[in-house]
Chain A
Amino acid sequence: MKQVVVHPERCVGCMQCMLACATAHSRSLTLFAAVQETPQPKPRIHVGAGRFNEGFPNRCRHCDPAPCQMACLAGAIYRRDSVDTVMINPDRCINCASCAMACPYGVIRFHEDPLGPSGHAIAVKCDNCSARVAKGQTPACVEICKAGALTYEEMDAAMRRKTRAVAHSMSTDADPSAIPAGVALLKSIKQSELQLSGS
C-alpha cells in the first residue's frame, strides 16, 4: 500500500506542504478562500528549522501500535487498517491532550477545526488525506512538494531506491557527491554561519 514517505534531506523549507495541507482540510478547498474561513483550517504537517536551519517536515507517522491511541482517555483515536491510518474521531475527542503527551513526534495540535464540531477545540493530526485518496488523488502535501521531500509510494519501493543510491555511491566511478553542488555549497555556508554564531 502506498504511503507518504519523507526524505528530509530534500526539504528546502518552503512550507508549501503546510499551505496545501490546510487548504485540503478546509471547507472551500482553495488557498485564498481557506485563509478567510472561520475557523481557519490549520496544517497537520509542520515544517520547522532543523539544527542548521534546514527545513524538516514533521508529520504523523501513523504508528502501529499508536501511543496516542493507547493514551486517549475518550477512546477517540482508532486505526483504520485498510488505509494504514490512525484517525481521531472529532466527535469523541474531549480535548484533554493526553495524545499530545504520548506522541513522541509532537505532531498533534489543538484547535477548532472547519471539519469538526463547532465552538470547541479538538485534537487534530494528519489523516493521510483519506478524503483525497478515496477520490483517487494523492495526499496534498505530496502533490505540492517540488523538491522531492515528500513522495507517495510503497515503502519497499522507497527503500529500494535508497539502497540503489547507496550502492551506486559506492562504486568507483560514481559521482562522489549525491547532493547537487549548489545545494552542498549553500548548506556549508549556512552551517558555517551558524557555527560562527555559537550554535
Chain B
Amino acid sequence: MKHVIIGNGIAGVCATEAIRLLDATADITLIGDETFPPYSRPMISQVLDGSQPHGKLPIRSEHFYDEQNITPLLGRRAGGIDVANRQVLMADDTRIDFDRLLIASGADPRPLKAEGLDLKNIFYMRTQDHAKQQVAALDGARRAVVLGGGLVGFKAAYGLLKRGLAVTMLITSGYPLSMQVDETAGRMILDELVCHGLTVEVGVSVCAFEGNGSVQAAVTDAGTRLPCDMVIIGKGVLPCRTFIPKGQIEVDLGVVVDERLQTRVPGIYAAGDVAEMVDIARGCRWVNALWPEAACQGRVAGLNMAGRPVAYPGSLSRNVMRVFDLDVLTVGNANPSKDAGCRVLQSGGVAQQYYRRLVFRDDVLVGAVMINRIEQGGVLRSLIENRMPIRVPPETLMTPGFNFGRLLY
C-alpha cells in the first residue's frame, strides 16, 4: 500500500502517525512546503508576544521522518493530481504514485490587494518563518498596524501590544473575533485591549503602503495615513487548492469530504485547513481551519487510509486564548441567526469581569462563549460535539464551576 500525504502540517503529521499505528511497513511519502521540523503553528503567536522562544516551536523531533520510516519530499508543493492514473504531479514534472492520497495542504494567508506590499516589515502571519522575521523587525519598531480582527489579526495585535508597541487594529465588524463571539463578549475583549493601549478603527481598509525600503505608513481608502514601522496582515486564510482538479474532486471553499474524510474519489482523502465537511454546530458544510481540528481530522483520515473505517462526526469551531486579564474560550456557533430557532442563555458582563453565553437548539447545545472560568470549557465542547440532549436544567451549565456530577442522573 502506497500512501502519499500532501502537507506536513499537523494534519499530515497526525495522519502519518495514525497509519503507522496500524501498519508498520506501508510505504508513506510526505510532501511538505516547510523544511522546518513539524512544529506548533499556533505557538507562533507566543513567539511574537515574547512568552515562548522560537526554539520551542517543534513538536516532533527533527528525525521525525526517519523515526516514522517515511519518505519526505520537503521544500516543495504539489502541482497537480492525476486522478485517473493515481499520481501526484510535482513542479519539476516528477510523478508520485499513490494508492491512498491525503490532501492536507493547509491554507495560505488570504492575500491583500494593495500597493507597496513589497516594502520591508510587512508580514502575513502563518509560518514560523513569519514569526522569526517579525521578532527580528521588533528591534526599533514603535508603531504597528494590524489588518483584520479575526483570529490571526487579533493574536497579532495582542502579541505586538505585549511587546510594547503602539498598535492600531483595523477591523470590519464592530468588535474583534466576530466569527467566534457575540457582541457582549466582543466588546469585553475589545475593551480589554483598548485598556492596554490598542487603537481600533472600524470599517477602514488599506489600499497602499508607503515607505523608503521599509514600510513607514499605511494609507487607507479614505486617504488617511497611519504612520507605522511594521504591518501584520491577518485577513483570513484560503485553503491551498489550486492544484486540485476541480472537475474530479469536489472543491468548494475547501476540499469536500464525507464522514470518513474521503473525497468523491475513493482513496483520496482530505484533512486540516484545506478540508470542508459538515460543521456539527452549524449543521452545514464549513471550513474550520483550526489546529485541534486539523490534528483530529488528520488522525481519522490516516486510520481510514490504513484500512480501519472510522467515522468523524464533523468539524467544530473552537478556540481558547488568554488576553491580558481575560481568558476567552469559544465553541461552535455563538451567533445563530434569529430565525434559527435557538435559545440563548447569558450571564455576566463587564462589571462582573466574567461572561458565559450558551446557545441551544432544542435541547442540544450548539454554541458557547466563555470569558474567564474557562477551565471546564472542554465539557461544553464535548456536549456540543456529541450533540448530547441536555436533560438537566440548562442553567446548570451556566454555573461557573459546575461539577461534572451535575450532568449525571
Contacts and interface: CB of A to CB of B under 8 A. Distances in A.
A contacting B, Cβ–Cβ less than 8 Å: yes
Interface of A: 8, 46-51, 54-56, 58, 67, 70-71, 73-75, 92, 94-106, 108-110, 199
A48 B403 contact: yes
29 contacts: A50-B405, A51-B409, A56-B403, A56-B408, A58-B403, A58-B405, A70-B14, A73-B291, A94-B51, A95-B322, A96-B46, A97-B322, A97-B375, A98-B292, A98-B320, A100-B375, A100-B376, A101-B329, A101-B374, A101-B377, A101-B378, A102-B292, A103-B379, A104-B381, A105-B378, A106-B375, A106-B379, A108-B375, A110-B375
B110 interface: no
Nearest to A123: B375
Given A50-B409, A75-B59, A95-B322, 13 more contacts: A46-B403, A70-B14, A96-B321, A97-B320, A100-B374, A101-B320, A102-B292, A103-B379, A105-B379, A106-B375, A106-B377, A108-B375, A109-B375
The 9 closest A-B pairs by CB, nearest first: A48-B403, A56-B405, A106-B376, A50-B405, A104-B382, A75-B59, A103-B378, A106-B379, A58-B404
Contacts of B321: 96
Contacts of B393: 199
Interface string B3-46: 00000000000100000000000000000000000001011001
Nearest to B396: A51
B405 A51 contact: yes
B42 A100 contact: no
Contact of B320 (A46, A51, A96): A96
Contact of A94 (B43, B381, B392, B403): B43
B61 to A, nearest CB: 10
Nearest to A54: B405
B305 to A, nearest CB: 17
A101 B292 contact: yes
Interface of B: 14, 40, 42-43, 46, 51-52, 56, 59-60, 291-292, 295-296, 299, 318-322, 327, 329, 331, 374-379, 381-382, 392-393, 401-406, 408-409
Contacts of A98: 42, 291-292, 320
